Structure 1
Amino acid sequence: MSLIYSFPPVATPAAHTLILGSMPGSASLLAEQYYAHPRNLFWPILGELIGARPDLSYPLRLHRLTSAGIALWDVLQRCEREGSLDTRIDSQSIVPNDFATFFDHHPTIRRVFFNGTMAETVFRRHVLQTLPPLPLRYHRLPSTSPANAAFSFARRLEAWQLVAADDNNNEHQDSST
């Protein structure tokens, strides 16, 4: 197993939405880019939602995200994993990112979207209890990973519409789907 590290967050002080993955896969780590695997549907979905299309340069895709008020990060700071699958993460090696500091520096974030079950599970198990009460809404979305073959592109795109939806309701809600 290899000890691997995630990337720094992509965020501006004005971010209102945070999308969390678990840990970058091998293709992403090699490319030093979030969601670099060519079959991962993250960028095609965000392309449909906010214009962050996969054919754009990586810096331009990140600019489109941040311009839309979306921050991007991973739950894990580091872990040991063989290969790219979340199921191969050694649970004893998990070290989460510092979310208390992140949310302190990004106080306008109100929505957290988990890109798949593992991101949500690890966040709830290793992060949530370390945070002060925050006015955040949590939503689990179907993973954009090619390993999530049970969901078609259309089904994932429909679920991910929440990310681009106008969100004027500031009431705390925990709606994992």
Structure 2
Amino acid sequence: MSSQGNHVEHPLEPVFDGRSRVLVLGTMPSPKSREVGFYYGHPRNRFWRVLAELFDEPVATKNEWRRDQLLRHHIALWDVLASCDIEGASDASIANARPNDLSRILDAAPIEAVFCTGAKSAELYARYCEPVTGMPAVKLPSTSPANAAARFEDIVDAYRAILPHLGEFAPGVFDVPEVVELEQTIARGGTSLAVLMDRAGCSLAYRVRRGSPNARIAILCGNGNNGGDGWVAARELAAAGHDVALVTSRMPKDLKTQPARDTALEILPALVEAKVRVLVDPGESELSDALAQADVVVDAILGTGFSGATVKEPFATWIDCTNKRRRQGARIVSADVPSGLSASTGEASEPCVTADETVTMIVSKVGLESPAAAPYRGELRIAPLAYIEPLLEGGVENIG
């Protein structure tokens, strides 16, 4: 240990691949980042909030989700220093600095711009790295808690400078069997269906809050994995302070589809603690009363697996009550596909939810893009959930 602080060797691997176009560099992982094993790990560091705002996505809260987010947007992430002496997280105390070898990234990826998060990072990059790389860096404001006086909006505006360099990927439109195979391929790659469900529910909750930040919310959960997305959304919305009612035809222990069953079982105690009203198999009158108290109704009843000309009870009544509440002024947000709509053909059953917004997961579906679906889907939003670009290099037909 030096007289000026602890000697720290950089413990984290860089995040990048051959599609990365922007390199974002900090200085050295903070003690909290080293503890959690990923970059910008302090709960009051605003880096991940800034990225979420830039890309209109929920804040990624777990390391693998954060890694996926970076790679999806073609961002490489590392730090200027490989080692240094430092007191805690104080960049001002840095001494005996040794830089990282950035050629590891620059030789492997078509990086066209370098950005440094904070004055110290930019200073050290200019001193140690720019003479080697020949690439100047743009200094961005620090997202550290030490820069808490900076307005969040101003930081986001500064970070918009990275956007023109990213070259976002457009995955196209998929039929339902292709989506199923894509999900299985993602799961085989290490991102489980349960993790995808958690991200889907977080994305659903994000869209609800984005459009109705102070709303009272009713969430209608079917018996399959679409319903599981609704359970996750209920957890997130209740944690954010919303008044939430969750409607289900079965208690979690009686669900059969996985991972929805395990997800609902895990979430139920948190909903009870948060005083979320959980209505099990309500009659039409009780359901109508619950929806009457909601400003937003989340439709997580039937998913992309639905097909047919009619919807069975009790879900037909749920859909009728949802549409009635919409006519009375409530906003309707559907998970993946409006319940009663075929994600393959776009044809509507009797009845079918008429949504104001549909949050579809991972990729858009053929049925949602058809003219027949337009009166039912409302505004279509795609929640990407996972980094799928490498999986689609050979075309949709080569998934798996």
Q: TM-score normalized by structure 1?
A: 0.84
Which amino acid in the other structure matches residue 77 of structure 1?
A
Does the 8 A contact of 1:19 with 1:72 survive in 2? Answer: yes
Please tell me whether residue 21 in structure 1 is matched to residue 26 in structure 2.
Answer: yes
Contact in 1 for aligned 2:126/2:136 (Cα 8 Å)? no
The one of 118, 141, 148 equivalent to 1:116 is 118
Letter in 2 for 1:146: P
Cα deviation for residue 28 of structure 1 reads 0.5
Check whether the contact 2:17–2:108 (CA below 8 A) recurs between aligned residues.
no
Q: CA deviation at 1:31?
A: 1.1
Please state which structure has a larger fraction of its residues in helix. 2
Gap runs ≥5 in structure 1:
169-177
1:128 aligns with 2:127: no
Q: Residue type of the partner of 1:148? A: N
Identity of aligned residues (%): 33
Residues 53 and 22 of structure 1, relative CA distance in 2, 3 Å threshold: farther
Q: Secondary structure at the match of 2:105?
A: helix
> What is the alpha-carbon distance in structure 2 between the residues aligned to residue 62 and residue 85 of structure 1?
25
Deviation at 1:115, TM superposition (A): 0.4
- Structure 2: tracts of 5 or more residues without a match: 168-400
Matched, 1:63 2:55: no
What RMSD in Å do the two structures reach over aligned CA positions?
A: 1.8
Aligned to 2:52: 47
Aligned with 1:3 (options 7, 10, 17): 7
Contact kept in structure 1, 2:80 and 2:99, CA below 8 Å = yes
Greater Rg, structure 1 or structure 2?
2
SS of 2:92's partner is helix
The whole-number CA distance in structure 1 between the counterparts of 2:46 and 2:73 is 19
CA distance in 2, matches of 1:166, 1:97: 23
| Structure-2 separation of matches of 1:101 and 1:62 | 18
Which structure would you say has the larger RCO, counting Cα contacts within 8 Å and 6 or more residues apart?
1
Tell me the SS of whatever aligns to 2:147: coil
**Letter of the 2:140 counterpart:** L
CA–CA distance in 2 between the matches of 1:59 and 1:66? 11
Match of residue 158 from structure 2: 159
Task: Tell me the TM-score normalized by structure 2.
Answer: 0.39
8 Å contact kept, 2:73–2:166: no
